[in-house]
């Protein structure tokens, strides 16, 4: 059930096909959409957010996949309709266009799997649901936050995009199934036509596309403490860090992310890093 006043036929697409090149070598073995933040895969965070809006199941939610698609397909299972793009990813607009037959006349809420959003908890504030409130089902809506430089390239009405957009069917039906992005194919044309609305987002947002932002999202998820999976073994010390399932920490970690199954050896001191495997280390902050 969706809220009163929202489109009854609303569907949602989570974009999870990208390669995540800026996160390499982390994404050489795991697609970006499955990288964990606070010990929860980013894709699961997106699906849970949609579930909170009443959007669940393969009739209402679709996920696209391409890079390491087998992992995404296995992870999603029957929770959503799956669109596997052959060859190279089609981009954000091409990925939506490839789902045209599934969307089939419906308005669509599109979210980036790599977007980390944490809604306000201390005071009421607009979240993704605000995109739908009072929507005329004709305009394009983006969720955004005020930009440090309102005139900078990549901004919309002085705002930076924060991971979710709302698209009317009249525009989706004409998208070609070719590599293209929503910025050039839909958002900028709507802006030029005066049919683009930016809805302010009041929570914390990271796009997690770089090691620094990925680490920052994980640190936000800790709320200043530590998140240690119950199956992890910690004999060293952890401060403001995330330790994944079956990881082993024998050394000292601070402001770091220890991936599932990774090892921090006795005597190691890790600060502002992401550790994967037995010794893979991605530096993501000022400390080296």
Residue 2 has pLDDT above 90, yes or no: no
Mean pLDDT of 164-190: 95
Alpha-carbon distance of 131 to 99, in angstroms, equals: 21
* Residue-level pLDDT at 1: 40
Angle (CA) 285-17-186 rounded to 5° is: 100
If DSSP codes are grouped into helix, strand and coil, which group holds residue 188? helix
Mean pLDDT of 49-62: 94
Mean pLDDT of 129-137: 89
- Measured between alpha carbons, how far is residue 177 from residues 10, 84, 180, 187, 274 in Å? 22, 13, 8, 17, 36
- The residue among 245, 243, 244 whose CA lies nearest residue 254 is 243
Structure tokens, 56: 């669940």
The 10s digit of each residue's pLDDT in 69-85 is 999 999 999 999 999 99
Residue 88 has pLDDT above 80, yes or no: yes
Domain with CATH 3.90.550.10 in the chain: 11-206
To the nearest whole number, what is the mean pLDDT of the chain? 92
* pLDDT > 90 fraction of the chain, expressed in percent and rounded: 80
Q: Please, is 128 exposed, middle or buried when counting C-beta atoms within 10 Å of its C-beta (0-12, 13-18, 19+)? A: buried
> What topology is assigned to 11-206 in CATH?
Spore Coat Polysaccharide Biosynthesis Protein SpsA; Chain A (3.90.550)
Structure tokens, 63: 């996920």
* Residue-level pLDDT at 8: 83
The 10s digit of each residue's pLDDT in 222-280 is 999 999 999 999 999 999 999 999 999 999 999 999 999 999 999 999 999 999 999 99
Residue 202 has pLDDT above 70, yes or no: yes
The 10s digit of each residue's pLDDT in 102-131 is 999 999 999 999 999 987 655 445 578 889
């Amino acid at each position: 059930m969706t809220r009163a006043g929202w489109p009854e036929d609303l569907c949602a697409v989570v974009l999870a096909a990208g390669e995540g090149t800026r996160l390499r070598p982390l994404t050489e073995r795991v697609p970006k959409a499955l990288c964990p933040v606070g010990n929860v895969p980013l894709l699961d965070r997106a699906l849970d957010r949609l579930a909170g809006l009443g959007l669940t199941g393969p009739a209402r939610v679709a996920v696209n996949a391409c890079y390491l698609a087998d992992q995404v397909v296995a992870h999603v299972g029957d929770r959503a309709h799956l669109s596997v793009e052959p060859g190279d990813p089609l981009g954000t607009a091409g990925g939506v266009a490839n789902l045209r037959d599934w969307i089939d006349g419906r308005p669509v809420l599109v979210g980036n799997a790599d977007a980390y959003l944490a809604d306000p908890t201390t005071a009421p504030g607009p979240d993704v649901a605000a995109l739908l409130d009072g929507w005329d089902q004709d305009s394009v809506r983006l969720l955004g936050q005020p930009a440090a430089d309102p005139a900078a390239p990549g901004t919309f009405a002085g705002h930076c995009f924060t991971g979710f957009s709302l698209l009317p069917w009249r525009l989706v039906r004409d998208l070609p199934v070719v590599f293209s992005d929503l910025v050039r194919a839909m958002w900028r044309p709507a802006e030029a036509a005066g049919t683009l609305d930016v809805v302010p987002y009041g929570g914390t947002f990271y796009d997690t596309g770089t090691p620094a932002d990925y680490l920052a999202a994980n640190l936000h998820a800790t709320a200043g403490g530590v998140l240690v999976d119950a199956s992890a073994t910690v004999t060293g010390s952890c401060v403001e860090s995330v330790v994944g399932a079956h990881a082993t920490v024998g050394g000292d970690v601070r402001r770091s992310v220890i991936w599932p199954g990774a090892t921090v050896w006795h005597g190691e001191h890790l600060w502002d890093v992401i550790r994967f495997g037995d010794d893979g280390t991605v530096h993501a902050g000022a400390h080296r």
